Each structure stands twice: as structure tokens, then as C-alpha cells.
Chain A
């Protein structure tokens, strides 16, 4: 039997870890990437990677708590078995990266140092300065280069994935790609295709994401029939540096190392921030969330910063929104050792030394929790069955998705330093299952008749030619992209309202219509970035629509998806009985909302290109959903009522079980 051949699209953490594992298991891998893989967006990840470790374990931490923090932080929207498996793999993944040479920061005794990140009370985050993503990516890049020298991996850098090739039975048999230098097309027969192309920040114009994060590969798979899950869940990072071309990330690790967020109590106080006394500052996160302080989960920190600027009018500056992120109380030596990379970015792009002067920051679009819908096979212990071909497989057999572009691990909100883990985990873990899938597909793709690939090649060549010929249109793709980005940022980020979402949907349809009249300003057929951009812009509209429609239909607040019209306010009564009554009503509403909305959103591309949305139940078999109460007014009261209910419910179950259950429960 011929050796299986796998095509990996995207060379960030997920794509590289899958490639490394597949090559090690004897599979021939073609690795396609828009940029040299060492330049992938994972390089921008800063803060660190989470796992239970020997230190936290002795402080009461374990894999279950990491799992629980992740699903609680994600507002219970993720299927629990994959998250459990990921948390279980955390320690061995960090160990592996350590062996690969990642220069993790060290304790004086030479162990890996750890810091605390948002949404947990444990120091679970291993880090390499403030460029952890870069260091993890490089070590995987190095291993893949090793396999390249061995002849197991062939890289196709500066290539664009255009469409998956499906056989008559609907199984993925490869893909059509294009060389971005010569503009030549090529069919890649493959026994499985893995998409690992990251997020879709460019839908929002400027974000913390890199320029390759345009979502085009995912959009192309979606239009070929792949389902898209939880599209409306977009993480807006609380702290980014505003810029004309990009909103650069200021890592959560700045707060993990003691950074404090504040605004002057006097609106637009003109004084130098260093001259504003403590008593005239509002450390609003610490005041409102005494337990987590500046390290509340990202969705909450983002809303608070947005709110204090827009609703309370306390933005530091008058004509642009920002708050202070202050590190000036931390010793310079500590800052340089633990945060050097990100502080240099601030200094370089803002011309101000953040070790001396508080930084000015504001939220920015950062991560796509949603992505291609993928399957998994649950094990008897509640995790996943390793080697199952279902793990990470989309609804199209033979087509897989891993990393940020799958929807599986982060639910409604991702915790900081969990993304690097989910990317590496999904890449490593899927490999044996992908191979099993290759072996189950009957004859090898390389033996397929060329007819299968010819029609895709012809279709893509034709699409390209048609676009090149569009020199007479009256629309400019770069202007349209800016309009799309401004629209999506305005209506589909921190605060969402139904009337705005509905209007925006219509507006995206009209932008898409105008896109059809785009003129290309370069009609040549050599390194034509203009036509490639125009094509990828066209791919953004289907994704923008599913984000908007998913958000419009979901009438609730969950994680990053916040609709004030459906918010559940805290408890304001002071009289004990009334307080209890309000808490009971709150819990009633919470339970009703859970029944109605604790569902994965699944978008399929309809015949006219419009998204069709359905909902699937979420597997919450490991831990039942509970109210997410970080800092909610009256949260203690609600928590008490909630615990009583759960207690009563479990007592009720026991009572129903009767003597037989009792007899069986002697262990």
C-alpha cells in the first residue's frame, strides 16, 4: 500500500506541531503557508502557555481545576471532553516544548518559572520573556526543518489554499493551491487535509492579528460545505496599543506581573500621570473585582475598560479612548527580565518608556473562539479516544481543522495563555487519528484519476482570470475592506444590539455586492498581491455574515457576546428576604437561559451563500454549567441560592435511587 500523504495548510503552532508529529509517525507531509512558516502569526503570542505544574499541584491545583477554570471562563459553551483532554495533556506539552529548547524563564534553582494569568488563582503559566509564542513557534519550526532535511516534509511557502477537492462520496482528497509568486495553480492530492490557518481578525479591519489572518482558507472550506461553529464569539483583548495600521497587543502578562489599570477620577486630567496622587486615581478593576483584580477574564476587563471610557466619560484623553496600564511601580530589572519584548514594542511604536510612564491602552479584536466545527470521540473516562479519526475532523471526512481556526476549546471566552496550549495540543493530538483516517479512505489520493482534480483546477483558474480581467470597476478593494472593518468593529465587538446587527447584515450584503464591482489595479500575473487581496476580501463577507447572524440570533449574554438588552443585572435589594427572592429569581432565569442558549451555533453555507444557522447541544457531562459570577453585585447571595439548589437536586436524585442505588454505592 502506498504511504499516506497529508496536506497541512498553515504553519503556525498548530500546523507545525501536526506536521512534526505526522512526519515522526512516518507520513509524508506537504506544508502550505501564505508566508514562510517562521513568520506565522503565532509569533505574536506573548504571555505564556498554561499547564498544571509541580508547584501549583502542591498548592492544590490539578488538571481538573485547569479544565474547570477553562470551561467556567468560557461560560460553559465548549464541549467538555476535548477541554479535559487538553488540560490533561498540558504538563507533557510544556515538558516537550522545554525539551525542544524553548528558553523558558527560570527560577534561581533552574526550574521553569511560572506566572499568573487571567481567570485563575494559580500560577500556571510558563513563559519565555514576553515572546513565548515566538519561542514556541521557533522550536517547532526548527523540528520541522529537521524533518524537511530528512525529506519527510515539503514546504510550500508563499502559497494560497483555494479549495478542498472532494470525491464523489464527499471525502476530501486534496486541495487546489496557488503559488503567490508565479501565480501558477497546482493540485495537491492528499489522503487528508488539515486546516491550521488561525483566526479572522481582518474582518474587523485593524486588530491585534497579523495580515495573514484574513480567514480566507476557512471561508473557502466553509463554502465547500464545512460547518462553522460559534462564529459570533470574538475575543476583544482588553489591552492593546492603538495604531493607524494595527492595534498592537499589550500582553495580559503585563497585568500578571503586577500591572495596574486605572483612570484619573477627574475626566481627562491634564496632569502628567505620575503627578496624579493615589487618592485621585480609580483602579476600577481592583475596586470592582477584589478577588481577581486586574486579572479578571478578558471579556469582563474589556467591557469595564470600554464602559469607563464610553459611559462614565473617564477616558484618559479627550479625543481618543484609552486608560492607563501602569507598570512603573515594578522594578526595572524585573520588567526587563520578564516583559522586555512587549515593553520594547510599546517604546518603539509609541516613543514612550513604559517603565517610567504609564502606558495608554484600549481594547482590540484579538482572537476567534469560533471556527470550523470539528468532531471528537469521547472516551470512557470523559476525555478523548486517542487515535480516533473523528478527533478534529470537520463534517467533511478527511478534512481536519486545528488551532485557532477550530471552534472547540474556548467556548464563549478564551482564558489567557490557553491558546498556545490548544494550538499545540490539537496539532499533536490529531495526528494518529488523521493517519487512521488516511488508512480508512480506500485507495490513496495519489492513485485517484486526475479528473477529480482537473475540475477544481479549472474552476480556480477561471475565477482568477475573471478577477484579473476586472480592470474597469468603480470600487476599490482596500476602501471596501476599511468600511467592512469599521462596520464590524462598531457593531460586533464589545457591545452588541439587535437593531445594529440587523442593519449591519444588510450593509455587509451591499458591501459584498460592491465588491463584485471591484477594479483590480494590477492585471499582471506575477506576484500580484492586489488580486490576491481582492480575492481574500471576497472571502471575508461570508464569514462576516455568519458572525453577524449568529450574534443577532443569540439573545443572551455569554462570555464575549454581550447584549445589554439581555443582560442579567446583579442583586440590589438590601433587605434579606427580598435579597433572597431576587437571587432565586436570578437563578430561575439563569436556568431558563441555559436551557435555551447553552448551544453551539452551527452555520452552514446556504445555496445563495447566506449562512443557515442551527444549534447543537453542548456536552456538559463532566461539570454542570453554573453562573459565572466574577464580581457580580450580589454574587454571594446568588451563589448561595445556587449551591442550595444543586444540593437539593443531588439529594433528590439519591432519594429517587432508593436502596438499590445505595447498595451499589458502597465504594
Chain B
């Protein structure tokens, strides 16, 4: 809900500070509006989560990031208690680094491109922020997405070049091939597709007191390897299997995609493609991977 009260203060209208808009004190006091937000907080892994409510001065064109910046700056809950600032991840603020994924009004999306005006259209009362549910919470809205990057190792998402010495240009590539590959290459590793996937379930391990960091890491890796790789990794496998040099290890990627936690776990819910902020054709990648895996399995039988 946006509430209006009288306020004499002026606020930054979102322009560079050379702008006269920053110095808009014309003597009139515009009514100050506020945005209400409730945030699901958690102090550390294994702790109970709890809701905290905040009230933030409304600014035109604001996004969820500017709400969280303001929450940090005022460090005060709506009922006036001093509270620790809410922790959250962000970096580029233009939806290309993939950091700021969270559940906003129940939907997984990027906080930077979630514009407040549109969120208020969805739920005029209050904006709700929760951490992603498929990854272990580190604190508040910060989650540990290490598993997401580990999946990229599993499917060998890289071009296996000999070295970085000069060997002339890469292979010739048709514009059609480039236009096919480019959308897949824009995956920002945000994890929205994993959050929305019914087959991708949370793996949260706690380091035992007598366990070394390396042992814990090894145990975690084993657990990750048993879980679903996820749509993002399947799509990356297809990206590299479509590249003239990348496909030289296509079989290794298909081996990964057909072993435990591989493509057979996909239940075809198609949520991934619906929530992808970059509109990557994930289901097309999954279909391609499925076909390639089948062909490859048959070929393996005959190759014996």
C-alpha cells in the first residue's frame, strides 16, 4: 500500500546530481508516499526464520534494490525498532550479473529489474521478499548457489582448447549457428530456473564439528553430483555441443547428462522457461539434449 503523509523533505528523483531535479525545493511540500515491505529474515544457517516489516519513502521508478538500500540505510523496522540491515546479494543492478535473485511477491526474479510500481499493481498492500527456497540460506536474502556453478563443472561447460597461445582464429561459424548459440550464452546463472523446477530440490548439508573443510567439501560435492543438474546446465551442455570445437567432447557431456541426476530427472513442467529473466529457450535445449542422449545411447549399443 502506498500511504501519503505530508513531508517537507524532497527526495532524489533519480537523476544524476548535476540535474536541477535534485534541488527541487520550490517551497511546496509534496505529499510523501511510503512503500510497505515484509522480508523473511534468517540470521544464519539452521536458525529460525522470521518476518520483519519496513516502510520506505516512495521514489519514482524505484526498484527492489533501492528498497533494500533504503532498508539498510534506515536500519529500522516499521514499528521503529533498531534492527540489523537486511543482507542481500547484488552487483550490476542491470540484470546481467545474476546476483540478486529472490522471491518477490512469491515469484522468483531479479531484484534489480523488479520495478516497485509494477509490484504494487500485483499486491498493493505490501511487497513481500523471501530468499530462494532451493538453496541453503546464508543470511536473510543471501543464499549459497555453489551447487549451480558445480553443475557447470559436471557438464564440462567449456570449449576444450589446447592452450592460450596464438593459433589463429576460431572456426568459421554461420550467422544461423551464432544466432542459435547466442541466446544460450546469455545465461546469467541467476538460478531462477532451478528455483521454479519441481525436480530440483534443496540440498543443505551442515559441516560436522570433527570434519575438515576439505572433507566437508568432498561430501557436499558427492551430494550435489547425485542431485538434478538443472535446466541451466543442460542448456550450457547443448551450447557447447553445438560449437565446432566444443563438440569434440560432446560424448563426455552426454555421459554426464545421462548419469545420476541427469536429464532423465526433468519432469517437463516447463517452469524453467517461464521464469527465465533472459527468455532463454531452456525447454528447447532440454528437448535437444533428450534427443541427443537417445541417439547417443543407441549408438553406444551398436558401437560395442
* A residues in contact (CB < 8 Å) with B: 20-21, 24, 35-36, 38-41, 43-44, 92, 95-96, 98-101, 103-112, 128-129, 131, 134-135, 138-139, 142-143, 145-146, 148-149, 181, 205-206, 210-212, 242-249, 306, 310, 319-321, 337, 341, 345, 348-349, 351, 362-364, 428, 476, 478-479, 485-486, 489-490, 493-494, 521-522, 524, 526-527, 529-530, 533
Contact = CB atoms under 8 A, between A and B. Distances in A.
Contact of A243 (B14, B152, B164): B14
Given A131-B96, A145-B149, 12 more contacts: A36-B145, A43-B188, A99-B169, A110-B173, A110-B174, A242-B16, A243-B61, A348-B95, A479-B73, A521-B75, A526-B139, A533-B72
A103 B44 CA distance: 41
Interface stretch (B17-25, B121-129, B192-200, B258-266): B17-25
A320 B169 contact: no
Nearest to A23: B164
A521 B85 contact: yes
Given A134-B96, A428-B164, A98 B170 contact: yes
A428 B166 CA distance: 12
Nearest to B110: A348
A87 to B, nearest CB: 15
A153 to B, nearest CB: 12
A258 B163 CA distance: 38
Given A99-B245, A490-B18, A530 B84 contact: yes
A104 B185 CA distance: 11
B182 interface: yes
B201 interface: no
A345 B95 contact: yes
B92 A44 contact: yes
B139 A103 contact: no
9 contacts: A99-B245, A131-B96, A148-B153, A211-B90, A246-B94, A249-B94, A320-B19, A349-B63, A522-B85
Nearest to A107: B175
B138 interface: yes
A72 to B, nearest CB: 28
Nearest to A248: B94
A143 B93 CA distance: 26
B92 A478 contact: no
Contacts of B59: 244
B157 interface: yes
A38 B84 contact: no
Contact of A210 (B66, B97, B149): B97
Contacts of A211: 90-93
Nearest to A345: B94
B175 A521 contact: no
A453 to B, nearest CB: 19
Contact of A206 (B16, B75, B142, B158): B16
Nearest to A494: B18
Give the interface size class of chain B: 35 or more
Given A43-B96, A96-B164, A131-B96, A245 B85 contact: no
B15 A321 contact: yes
B223 interface: no
Interface string B192-234: 0000000000000000000000000000000000000000000
A16 B60 CA distance: 38
Contacts of A493: 18
Given A43-B92, A478-B69, A490-B17, A527 B87 contact: yes
A533 B168 CA distance: 45
Contacts of B169: 95, 98-99, 112
A243 B246 CA distance: 40
Contacts of B235: none
B96 A526 contact: no
B2 interface: no
Interface string B87-131: 111111111111100000000000011010000000000000000
B159 A142 contact: yes
B20 A321 contact: yes
Nearest to B75: A521
A100 B161 contact: yes
A108 B19 CA distance: 45
A320 B92 contact: no
Contacts of B272: none
B186 interface: yes
A105 B175 CA distance: 7
B178 A101 contact: no
Contacts of A98: 169-170
Task: Name, among B91, B149, B163, B173, the residue most crowded by chain A CB atoms within 10 Å (CB to CB).
Answer: B91
A145 B246 CA distance: 15
B46 to A, nearest CB: 11
A526 B65 CA distance: 22
A103 B138 contact: no
A320 B166 CA distance: 50
Contacts of B186: 129, 131, 134, 341
Contacts of B13: 244, 319-320
Contacts of B95: 345, 348
B167 interface: yes
A210 B89 CA distance: 12
Contacts of B66: 244-245
A533 B72 CA distance: 11
A319 B24 contact: yes
Contacts of A128: 182, 185
Nearest to A112: B169
B62 A524 contact: no
A143 B245 CA distance: 14
A298 B14 CA distance: 23
A100 B175 CA distance: 17
A95 B168 contact: yes
Contacts of B300: none
A310 B19 CA distance: 9
B14 A319 contact: no
B33 interface: no
A246 to B, nearest CB: 4
Nearest to A342: B94
A530 B17 contact: no
Nearest to B44: A526
A106 B96 contact: no
B174 A138 contact: no
Contacts of A149: 153
Contact of A143 (B112, B158, B170, B185): B158
A110 B156 CA distance: 26
A349 B113 contact: yes
A133 to B, nearest CB: 9
Contact of A103 (B63, B85, B182): B182
B173 A362 contact: no
B6 interface: no
A205 to B, nearest CB: 7
Contacts of A348: 95, 113
B90 A247 contact: no
Contact of B73 (A103, A108, A478, A490): A478
Nearest to A241: B94
A527 B173 contact: no
A489 B157 contact: no
B21 A96 contact: no
A351 B169 CA distance: 40
B93 A526 contact: no
A277 B20 CA distance: 28
B243 interface: yes
Contacts of B135: none
B269 to A, nearest CB: 26
